Amino acid sequence: MIKPIEGFSKLTKTEKIDWIATHYTKNPETSKETLKRYWSSDDALQKLHDEFIENTISNYYLPFGIAPNFLVNDELYAIPMAIEESSVVAAASKAAKFWLERGGFKTTVLGTEKIGQVHFMYYGEAQKLKDFFVEVHRKLLSSTSSLTKNMQKRGGGISNIELRDQTNKLENYYQLHCTFETSDAMGANFINSCLEQFAKTFKEEAQHFNAFTDKEKDFEIVMSILSNYVPNCLVRAEVSCPIAELNVGNSISAEKFAEKMVRAVNIAMVEPHRAVTHNKGIMNGIDAVVLATGNDFRAVEAGVHAYAARNGSYSSLTHASVENGQFRFWMEIPLALGTVGGLTSLHPLVKLALEILGNPSAEELMQIVAVAGLAQNFAAVRSLVTTGIQEGHMKMHLLNILNQLGANDDEKKKLIEHFKKNAATHNAVVEAFEQLRNR
């Protein structure tokens, strides 16, 4: 049995690797070799990565790809994407090209409000708490002035602080529900620092509020934290064209295709099982750009899915309509993103990704990311209602299978050619490979 280890974080990197490889892997020497193969030969770069997190023993690479030809509000973008799934960049590029020839994507930022909350338990008369809040409100703002000074210079700051009585949900539960503008920063550190200061000031000031009894002064701050649910930090992305221009190939008419697209989206509107997969396709595009630009994809994921369920049932994030001969496909999605702070000025590839995008503001990045999501969804649903998803997916996955089988460059070339004309199921690829080898 492996014994727990004390002070793992204090070991050197080599000691950590020795320990993990020896105790948890079958072939320690090979495991060490694998971990070291992913180290950067550039010591400064490796040190940077080592210091991003605790206990770094190697780097985890993801492909960094480019989806070109995205026309967004009449500007042409090449969008960097960090993702492992074979078909995602290809699908995004295909959708970008399709809409490039049909007027491109149009986007609008509908809001940039961020949210944070101080959660606390108060055991007393609700009215007295309300009176105290009115009295302390100004003090809450002034106590954070050193934190908000720089943010205010950049056009951000605290927008509002509200006392919310939540006792109908949980006995004695109240909160300070606070809203913020964070300019080009995602704002997590700024918001959390302000909230922790609010909590401190709130508690301190309560001690001098004469109307409170000792019990009422003794309320309990439970926690102070931003919310990743940001329904008012919202961006809309859309495409539209006359139905007659919606020609996607000979096998289906433009009218039929438009009709099928709308039907597929409507199914995802009403059926949660389909909606989750439908939205997963959107997140294929969103996460890849969020990751490439050094943003927090977990925060985005959590917020987006909560938004998809905001009406009480999980539903499609995209919408499609056919009206007056016009096909329209659109999405509104909450995205709290930053283009300053965090990894944005630290990680060389993130910096480059942002440069490729023209060093966008946070609002511009919201629009680009939303477009990547919409394009991805269009590409996926287009395949689903026409050829089926496997045709395109397996074409892109073919190389992965061939690499798994150990195919050499010549074999790969021949088999890629072969599968241009034949359906590439896993078995078919294995069979064709074996036939070629044994020829």
Interface ranges with ligand MEV (CB under 6 A): 85, 277-278, 280-281, 284, 380-381, 384, 389
Q: How far apart are the first and last CA of the chain?
A: 50
- CA atoms of 136 and 161, how far apart (whole Å): 11
- Give backbone dihedrals phi and psi of 382, rounded to 5 degrees, phi first: -55, -50
Of residues 82 and 188, the one with the C-beta less far from ligand MEV: 82
Shortest Å, Cβ 88 to ligand MEV: 7
User: Tokens for 115?
Assistant: 């949210």
Of residues 73 and 400, the one with the C-beta less far from ligand MEV: 400
- CA atoms of 316 and 311, how far apart (whole Å): 11
For 50, the 3-state DSSP assignment is: helix
The C-alpha torsion from 310 through 312 and 316 to 318, rounded to 10°, is -40
- Residue among 374, 237, 357 nearest 294 (CA): 357
Of residues 131 and 259, the one with the C-beta less far from ligand MEV: 259
Neighbours of 333 (CB within 10 A): 26
Amino acid of residue 220: E
- CA atoms of 174 and 170, how far apart (whole Å): 9
- CA atoms of 236 and 238, how far apart (whole Å): 7
Sequence-distant (6+) residues with CB within 8 A of 431 are none
Taking CB atoms, the residue at the shortest distance from ligand MEV is 281
- Residue among 258, 261, 284, 274 nearest 90 (CA): 284
Token pair 């290809």 is at which residue?
A: 90
Shortest Å, Cβ 325 to ligand MEV: 26
Shortest Å, Cβ 371 to ligand MEV: 17
Of residues 158 and 248, the one with the C-beta less far from ligand MEV: 248
Of residues 137 and 280, the one with the C-beta less far from ligand MEV: 280
Shortest Å, Cβ 373 to ligand MEV: 11
Residue pair 392/87 in contact by the 8 Å Cβ criterion: yes
Shortest Å, Cβ 383 to ligand MEV: 7
Of residues 281 and 373, the one with the C-beta less far from ligand MEV: 281
Bridge partners of 333? 235
Indicate which residues carry an active-site annotation.
85, 280, 296, 393
